Amino acid sequence: MLRLAVLVSGGGTNLQAIIDRVADGSITNTEIAVVISNNHGVKALERAEHAGIPAVCVSPKDFEDRRAFNRALLETVNSYQVDLIVLAGFLVVIPEEMIDQYENRIINIHPSLIPSFCGTGYYGLKVHEAALERGVKVVGATVHFVDKGTDTGPIILQRAVEVKEDDTPERLQRRVMEEAEWKLLPQAINLIANHRVQVVNGRTRIQ
């Protein structure tokens, strides 16, 4: 059984997709051990509680500095003895110690086709604003392993979504979620849970 820690910051629609796909059996051999948010009172924590999953908030606001927060975050994850950390809209820089300890065991969903519109400053709605500003015709989402760079780790899955003439950043964000993110993230977890993802020379091999 693959034990997950799902890390969230806000709405938690990607978390909900994981909860639903575990419940309907599309994701097998997997259990969500804990949901951790860096923000108090967010909808994602409610979603976890509603599904009967331990929901914990570790907020930087409750610690005197970043080091103390990073340590608490890592200790919280470790205390649930998880096999995979899933960043599902977790808008916090992951501490280096966590990346060292969980090498190729942290995955992230990013709302663009990496290497476009990714890296520092590209998160949430900003990604879709930048894509519309540039005038690209195809966008999408990527699930990747997390390394020490920003959005630079081995790519696991990607899916393209077409831009429409009348798209606003909000409409495009919603369509990328519906058509790509909510499918890709559960699919990637299921592949990992069933030992179908290998990392070789910084790239993934999917069986």
Residue facing ligand GAR at closest CB distance: 89
The one catalytic residue in 110, 128, 144, 195 is: 110
Contact segment (CB under 6 A) with ligand GAR among 99-107, 108-116, 157-165, 186-194 equals 108-116
Of 171 and 201, CB closest to ligand GAR = 171
Q: Residue 32 forms beta bridges with which residues?
A: 4
Question: How far apart, in Å, are the Cα atoms of 146 and each of 87, 105, 163, 191?
Answer: 9, 8, 27, 16
Min separation Cβ 161 and ligand GAR, Å: 12
Kindly give the residue spans of alpha helices, DSSP state H, lying in 43-161. 43-50, 66-79, 96-101, 125-134
Among the listed residues 163, 152, 29, 150, the one whose alpha carbon sits nearest the alpha carbon of residue 92: 150
Q: Which of 19, 53, 82, 177 binds ligand GAR (CB under 6 A)?
A: 177
Instruction: Please say if 110 is a catalytic residue.
Output: yes
> What DSSP state is assigned to residue 39?
S
How many residues bind to ligand GAR according to rule CB under 6 A? 17
Report if residue 111 touches ligand GAR, rule: CB under 6 A: yes
Distance of CA 10 to the CA centre of its chain: 12
Contact with ligand GAR (CB under 6 A): which of 104, 123, 159, 183? Answer: 123
Q: Which one among 2, 14, 86, 113 touches ligand GAR, defined by CB under 6 A?
A: 14
Q: Which amino acid is at 129?
A: E
* Number of helical (H) and strand (E) elements in the chain, helices listed first: 7, 9
Which positions from 70 to 99 touch ligand GAR by CB under 6 A, shown as an x/- string?
------------------xx----------
CA torsion, ordered 124, 21, 18, 206, to nearest 10 deg? -80
Decide: is 140 part of the binding site for ligand GAR (CB under 6 A): no
Q: Which of residues 26-45 bind ligand GAR (CB under 6 A)?
A: 44
Cα–Cα nearest to 95, from 60, 131, 47: 60
Q: Does 204 bind ligand GAR (CB under 6 A)?
A: no
* Residues binding ligand GAR (CB under 6 A): 8, 10-14, 44, 88-89, 109-111, 123-124, 127, 177, 181
Catalytic residues: 110
